Structure 1
Amino acid sequence: MDARIPALAEQLLLIERELRVLGLWARLPPSDEALSSKQPFCIDALAFEEWLQWIFLPRMKQILESGSALPAVSGIRPMAEMVYAERLAELGRLLESLGEVDRLVSSGD
């Protein structure tokens, strides 16, 4: 088993917790059309936090649970920093967890 899996699972839980604490966790999913966007981060159809909640977290959980190969690289924190440029201090914990996911995925144990 890949040694990064437990650490990644922990970071996914921390990301969800931070989204909830920050009031960025939605109770209802976006439309199927929005979820099927082909743009990176579904930027044309979803807010970044929606992409995290409805696309990124479920996909990463599925990868971890199925034992599938992790992505070769991850660059989620830089995207978050761009999206939330005016709120970096407020979103520090979320950014830390996203950065840790980037680090773990890209380390390629």
Structure 2
Amino acid sequence: MTPHTELEHALTRLEATLSSVDLWRTPQPEAMAFNSQEPFCVDTMELPQWLRYVFIPRLQTLVDAKAALPVSCQVAPAVEVYLQQSKPSTRALVVKAVADIDRIVTEA
């Protein structure tokens, strides 16, 4: 399986995971929120918004174009911190899904 195919499957799993723990239904951010200069748009979006409207679409665009993937990806630690007050099962599921993406991108 190519890294692009593996990443596409992982992105689908992340979307399903976010949906299953009720983090997918998040309002679309205002257009100006996307202009943030901060990592993960922390000043303009909640992390689930960033995952849904920035992270997943950007990686999906790379997959669709079979373009070069980033040299590394380390989003799982931020997800873990964001979800530290969530149920352990929710945190574990989401962190695993994002960590899989981190691994695929970094190893590609």
TM-score (norm 1): 0.90
Give a deviation string over 1:51-108, Cα, whole Å, max 9, x none.
Answer: 0000001100000001110000000101101111122612222111111111111113
Contact 2:7 2:101 (C-alpha < 8 Å) held by counterparts: yes
Unaligned runs of 5+ in 2: none
- What is the aligned-residue identity percentage? 24
| 2:9 corresponding residue in structure 1 | 10
**C-alpha RMSD over aligned residues:** 1.5
Give a deviation string over 1:25-72, Cα, whole Å, max 9, x none.
Answer: 236411001122111100001000000000001100000001110000
Query: CA separation in 1, counterparts of 2:84 and 2:14?
Result: 18
TM-score (norm 2): 0.90
The range that moved more, 8-17 or 27-36, is: 27-36
| 2:22 corresponding residue in structure 1 | 23
Unaligned runs of 5+ in 1: none
Contact 1:81 1:88 (C-alpha < 8 Å) held by counterparts: no
Contact 1:34 1:45 (C-alpha < 8 Å) held by counterparts: yes
| 1:34 corresponding residue in structure 2 | 33
SS of the aligned residue for 2:28 comes to: coil
SS of the aligned residue for 2:68 comes to: coil
Q: Letter of the 2:71 partner, please give it.
A: A
Query: CA separation in 2, counterparts of 1:65 and 1:32?
Result: 24
Query: CA separation in 2, counterparts of 1:41 and 1:10?
Result: 22
Provide the aligned length of Structure 1 versus Structure 2: 107
